[in-house]
Amino acid sequence: MYPNGFYCVVRRFSSKEEKRRIVASVVQPADFADAEMVGFENHLNVFHEEKHGLPEALARGLAVFLNTTAVDENFRRFNGHTQVNATDLKAMKYPSRQQLMALGHQALGLPSDQQTIDQLVQGLPSE
C-alpha cells in the first residue's frame, strides 16, 4: 500500500503483437480521491520515492520518457522477452531528475501522440 499521490506505473507484460513493450502511465491522486492509501497489482512496476508519491512533474516526465520510441527500440534491442522487470527499468539510463521534471511540465496540456512525445524528449538539453 502506498499513500495516495502521483506515481508512474509501467505494465510488466505485453504481447508480441503490441506496438510497444514499455507502456507507462501516471496515476493521479484524483483517480482515488476518497482513498488515503492505494494498492497496485503485481502486474505493474511502480516508480515511487521511498514508498511515497512523486512530484507531479516528475511522474509525468518519467511517463513521457518511458513512452518514447527510442526507449522502446533500445529495450527491444537488449531484451528479447515481453516482460518488463523492475531490474530492466533500473538498468536503463534516464535523463536527470531536473530534465524529467522539465519534460513533465512541457507535456502538460499537449497531445500524447507518439510524434509529440518523441519530439519533447529529442528537445531535452544535454547535461
Could you report the per-residue pLDDT of 10-47, keeping only the tens digit for each?
Answer: 988 866 666 778 889 999 999 898 899 999 998 999 99
Predicted pLDDT at 55: 96
Question: Do the Cβ atoms of 61 and 104 come closer than 8 Å?
Answer: yes
Predicted pLDDT at 115: 84
Cell numbers at 121, concatenated: 524528449
Q: Name the band, by pLDDT with cuts 50, 70 and 90, for residue 126.
A: low
Residues 52, 110: Cα–Cα separation, whole Å: 27
| Amino acid symbol at 66 | L
pTM beyond 0.85: the answer is yes
Choose among 6, 121, 125, 5: nearest CA to 64: 121
Query: What 8-state DSSP symbol labels residue 8?
Result: E
How is the chain split into domains, by residue range? 2-122
Does residue 40 sit in helix, strand or coil?
Answer: coil
Cell numbers at 99, concatenated: 530534465
